[in-house]
């Protein structure tokens, strides 16, 4: 008899998530049936969307999320024992799956050959965040050689890759994030051209110094007043803005107030587009293979912030929301 540990959504968040909003329970799993397999979580992801999605998640449900799991029993030839899968099973240690899609989420996928790179990367640079960065830059932002690019959430899973991919495309990249230690990593190790600490610097003033001629492309991971400042005061004419996330408001009880951006969009004739990584599901492997190639060539660096122990999922999640992570935040069971 297999017993799964599962985090259930106990109480709707009211502002910043509290530990008592989730409940860790045990579930006895039945024997697998024909067409099913049993998978044991090895790495689990903690992502900002888990906070943004909460109002739509019914209470009592398993908390949402992706994981890399090892197939330990199988009556489904597409998911043989010993293989690793990346799947949207939620915050749980053991899962019985029929290999079909959890409605609204990605379909379980046997991990492709990562050529010796760690399987955990399927939750980061070789998975959803990596593809958000890759397709968000190549399809939405479309930076050209010589462009100046600003990216917020710059030291996180998506932002750290966005900046590097823009460097690969020949751009000047300005990263905006929440600590000088993050800035040092971005500039000294990832090759960003400059860094702004939004917690201690005046973003408008610092951006004027870093990009006196203005910004051609802005990859927005945070929304709020920082984005209003960039869009209203720093974009060049005909610039592009990729709206990827708005984490500055996810934990707010009331919708955050920020200076309207319409004037800036209009004055500078900007092209501003939202994106969800899922729109590129039909060419998902293109992003994974390209990011993998850039890693192998030494042109794309990744970093993981690993929390040990399934019981520490909530801690890892809230640490990430508070900015404790460099690169991708994951949990190792
Ligand atoms: N559209 C899509 O398909 C996807 C969108 N996203 C979005 O992209 C963004 C980044 O996601 P991801 O890379 O996974 O997460 P990160 O790895 O960047 O982690 C979140 C980071 O957000 C920063 N942060 C927290 N609060 C604030 C705040 N008030 N203002 C500014 N920054 C804050 C913290 O860094 P710091 O120390 O700098 O504050 C923290 O490390 C999120 O908004 C997310 O929702 C992510 C994946 C897919
Ligand atoms: C306003 C919330 C923006 C969330 C941005 C983000 O991180 C998206 C990530 C998607 C994720 C979408 C899942 C749920 C977010 C829905 C929130 C909402 O609309 O209220 C998943 O599909 C993979 C990433 O592409």
Distance CA 241, CA 290 (A): 23
What mean pLDDT is predicted for residues 58-80?
98
Instruction: Tell the residue nearest (CA) to atom 19 of ligand 1.
Output: 156
Asked if 24 contacts 6 with a C-beta cutoff of 8 angstroms, the reply is yes
Q: Is there an atom of ligand 2 within 6 Å of 128 CB?
A: yes
What mean pLDDT is predicted for residues 275-280?
97
Distance CA 311, CA 318 (A): 13
Report pLDDT digits (tens) over 127-141. 999 999 999 999 999
Phi-psi category of residue 170: left, alpha or beta, with phi > 0 → left and psi -120 to 50 → alpha? left
Q: Is there an atom of ligand 2 within 6 Å of 129 CB?
A: no
> Any idea which ligand is nearest the CA of 274?
1
Ligand 1 centroid to Cα of residue 222, in Å, is: 6
Asked if 176 contacts 150 with a C-beta cutoff of 8 angstroms, the reply is yes
Reported as type and span, the H/E element at residue 317 is helix 313-321
3-state secondary structure of 152: strand
Distance CA 243, CA 230 (A): 13
What is the torsional sign of CA 269, 270, 274, 275?
A: positive
Q: Is there an atom of ligand 2 within 6 Å of 48 CB?
A: yes
What mean pLDDT is predicted for residues 102-117?
92
Ligand 2 centroid to Cα of residue 49, in Å, is: 5
Instruction: Tell the residue nearest (CA) to atom 2 of ligand 1.
Output: 276
Report pLDDT digits (tens) over 213-234. 999 999 999 999 999 999 999 9
Q: Is there an atom of ligand 1 within 6 Å of 221 CB?
A: yes
Q: Is there an atom of ligand 2 within 6 Å of 276 CB?
A: yes
Distance CA 333, CA 331 (A): 6
What is the torsional sign of CA 189, 195, 198, 201?
A: positive
Q: Is there an atom of ligand 1 within 6 Å of 323 CB?
A: yes
Q: Which atom of ligand 2 is nearest to the CA of 48?
A: 7
Q: Dihedrals φ, ψ of 220, to 5°? A: -100, 110
What mean pLDDT is predicted for residues 51-79?
97
DSSP, residue by residue, 166-198: HHHTT-EEEEEES-HHHHHIIIIIT--SEEEET
Q: Is there an atom of ligand 2 within 6 Å of 53 CB?
A: yes
What's the confidence (pLDDT) of residue 104? 83
Residue 301: band (very low, low, confident or very high) from pLDDT cuts 50, 70, 90: very high
The CATH fold assigned to 128-277 is: Rossmann fold (3.40.50)
Report pLDDT digits (tens) over 11-63. 999 999 999 999 999 999 999 999 999 999 999 999 999 999 999 999 999 99
Q: Which two tokens stand for residue 127?
A: 């998975």
Would you list the domain boundaries of the chain?
Answer: 2-123+303-332, 128-277
Distance CA 122, CA 109 (A): 10
Select the CATH number that applies to the domain covering 2-123+303-332 from these four: 3.30.1370.140, 3.40.710.10, 1.10.540.10, 3.90.180.10: 3.90.180.10
The pairing of strands 304-308 and 328-332 is parallel
What's the confidence (pLDDT) of residue 102? 84
What's the confidence (pLDDT) of residue 320? 98
- Is 201's pLDDT higher than 90? yes
What is the torsional sign of CA 147, 298, 325, 136?
A: positive
Ligand 2 centroid to Cα of residue 32, in Å, is: 32
Report pLDDT digits (tens) over 150-173. 999 999 999 999 999 999 999 999
């Amino acid at each position: 008899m297999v017993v799964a540990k599962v985090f259930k959504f106990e109480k709707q968040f009211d502002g910043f998530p509290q530990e008592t909003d989730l409940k860790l329970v045990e579930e006895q799993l039945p024997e697998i049936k024909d067409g099913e397999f049993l998978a044991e979580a090895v790495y689990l992801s903690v992502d900002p969307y888990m906070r943004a999605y909460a109002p739509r998640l019914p209470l009592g449900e398993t908390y949402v999320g992706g994981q890399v799991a090892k197939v330990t029993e199988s009556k489904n030839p597409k998911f043989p024992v010993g293989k690793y899968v990346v799947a949207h099973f939620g915050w749980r240690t053991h899962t019985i799956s029929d290999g079909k899609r959890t409605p609204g989420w990605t379909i379980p996928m046997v991990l492709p050959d990562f050529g010796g790179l760690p399987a955990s990367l399927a939750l980061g640079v070789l998975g959803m965040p990596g593809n958000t960065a890759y397709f968000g830059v190549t399809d939405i932002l479309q930076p050209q050689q010589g462009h100046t690019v600003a990216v917020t959430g710059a030291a996180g899973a998506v932002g750290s890759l966005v900046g590097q991919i823009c460097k690969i495309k020949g751009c000047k990249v300005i990263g905006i994030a929440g600590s000088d230690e993050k800035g040092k990593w971005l500039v000294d190790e990832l090759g960003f051209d400059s860094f702004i600490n939004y917690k201690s610097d005046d973003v408008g003033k610092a951006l004027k110094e870093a990009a006196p001629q203005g910004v051609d492309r802005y990859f927005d991971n945070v929304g709020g007043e920082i984005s209003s400042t960039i869009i209203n005061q720093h974009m060049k004419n005909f610039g592009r803005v990729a709206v990827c996330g708005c984490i500055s408001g996810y934990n707010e009880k009331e919708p955050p107030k920020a200076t309207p951006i319409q004037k800036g969009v209009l004055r500078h004739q900007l092209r501003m587009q939202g994106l969800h990584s899922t729109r590129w599901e039909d060419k998902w492997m293109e992003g994974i293979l390209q990011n993998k190639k850039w890693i192998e060539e030494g042109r794309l660096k990744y970093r993981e912030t690993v929390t040990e122990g399934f019981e520490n999922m909530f801690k890892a999640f809230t640490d990430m929301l508070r900015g404790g992570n460099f690169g991708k935040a994951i949990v190792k069971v």
